[in-house]
Amino acid sequence: MPDAKPAFQRILLKLSGEALMGDDAYGINPEVIDRIVGEIKEVSRMGVQIGVVIGGGNIFRGIAPSAVGMDRATADYMGMLVTMMNALSLGDALRRAGVEARVQSALRVDAVAEPYIRGRALRHLEEGKVVIFAAGTGNPFFTTDTGAALRGAEIGAELVL
Ligand code: UDP
């Protein structure tokens, strides 16, 4: 088979939290994570650089009742922290599958993830590491869809999925 060159060099994949739940009521379904990791691995092995923005609806939905009546910005910060858990989970699953991955967070959580630094993210991507962008934009009143558009533009992704 002739060496097929991938159509895209760098892509940004947005994974909503709900996509991680599978048929569960909330949380992260291991089979779903494994399937997503398999697909990311396959595309990464083709030489495509992959950034991932991950949502938090799967866990945030579970804690939403406790956020009722809460100050909006505080609830949004909780939502961003939830995306952090998903990012760590995906990063761990990727590494277990033999795919190098780094988590970068828009909120400072130095003990568990790198801060988002664009130049560093670009270097990771060039080295073939999957970069998972956690905490969306880092700002309340936004969603991870905005985070995906923002990071996609910042890293020069040719495609946002
Ligand atoms: N969030 C935020 N700013 C951001 C990204 C996310 O405040 O830049 C909060 C917001 O409360 C949001 C939650 O984090 O509802 C989870 O993100 P999102 O709803 O985008 O997750 P998804 O629907 O993709 O699972």
Q: What are the pLDDT digits (tens) for 113-147?
A: 999 999 999 999 999 999 999 999 999 999 999 99
Which atom of ligand 1 lies closest to the CA of 138? 8
pLDDT confidence tier of residue 40, bands split at 50, 70 and 90: very high
Asked whether residue 3 carries a pLDDT value surpassing 70, the answer given is: no
Asked whether 64 lines ligand 1 (CB < 6 A), one says no
Region of residue 22 (phi > 0: left; psi between -120 and 50: alpha; otherwise: beta): left
Task: Give CA–CA dist 136/153, Å, rounded.
Answer: 14
Give the pTM.
Answer: 0.95
Asked whether 61 lines ligand 1 (CB < 6 A), one says no
Asked whether residue 1 carries a pLDDT value surpassing 70, the answer given is: no
Asked whether 17 lines ligand 1 (CB < 6 A), one says yes
Asked whether 76 lines ligand 1 (CB < 6 A), one says yes
**What spatial distance separates the first Cα and last Cα of the chain, rounded to whole Å?**
28
